[in-house]
Amino acid sequence: MKQNIISAIRLTLFCAVFFSGIYTMTIWGVAQLAPNQGKGFVVEQDGKKYHINVAQSFTKPEYFWPRPSAVDYNAAGSGGSNKGPSNPEYLATVQSRIDTFLLQNPDLTAADVPSELVTASGSGLDPNISVQGARVQVKRIADARNISEEQVQTLIKENTEAPLLGVLGTEKINVLKLNLALDKIK
């Protein structure tokens, strides 16, 4: 019994030193080698700093809208709604999002709305949408900004990110980058 207690105390002390100091400093050191020293990808425009890898809320008609967020775009606590696809409350929420989207984009039908624009991601912080998710918003944005749809389509093409290594994943667009590019058009 005494030998087991001594072993347990040794293991506890070792874990305390290792996980409080050595492991923590190793992770911190690796982060220092990463771009922006592990502080995320930050872009600055018009004196404001934005985190590119975290979704931002955009609701004005002159901007591309991101995926909805179950956590209200709060990066302090990511998470989904944890409601299944047959949950009546979840279905009502999705239908409300579809209705709102169609109200702002009257030239579309419910079948035209990509699911990503009315369903939240697992983290609630996904900063990207698909190319199709951006294209269905072109007319609304062009009308709201009084610019041509071709200008908006060009921005979509310029901001489309290819799949990783050309094959892993799908094409995507970072909504924040796209909206910042829109703001540069005068």
* Segment-wise mean pLDDT, segments of 10 residues, the chain, 186 residues: 88 92 89 77 81 85 91 80 86 93 92 91 86 94 93 93 84 92 86
Supply the pTM of this predicted model: 0.76
pLDDT given for residue 113 in this prediction: 93
Is there a contact between 112 and 136 (Cβ–Cβ < 8 Å)? Answer: yes
With the CA atoms of 28, 34, 38 and 43 taken in that order, what torsion angle do they form, in degrees rounded to the nearest 10?
A: 160
Spatial distance between the Cα atoms of 116 and 134, rounded to a whole number of angstroms: 11
pLDDT given for residue 82 in this prediction: 81
Token duo for residue 113: 């709305």
Report DSSP state, residue 23: H
Residue type at position 96: S
Token duo for residue 112: 């035209």
Token duo for residue 99: 């209705």
With tokens 């609630």, the residue in question is 124
pLDDT given for residue 185 in this prediction: 84
Spatial distance between the Cα atoms of 172 and 175, rounded to a whole number of angstroms: 9
A 10 A CB-CB count for 9 gives 10
- Find all residues with CB under 8 Å of 56, minimum gap 6, and list them: 50, 66, 73, 127, 175, 176, 179
In terms of residues, how long is the chain? 186
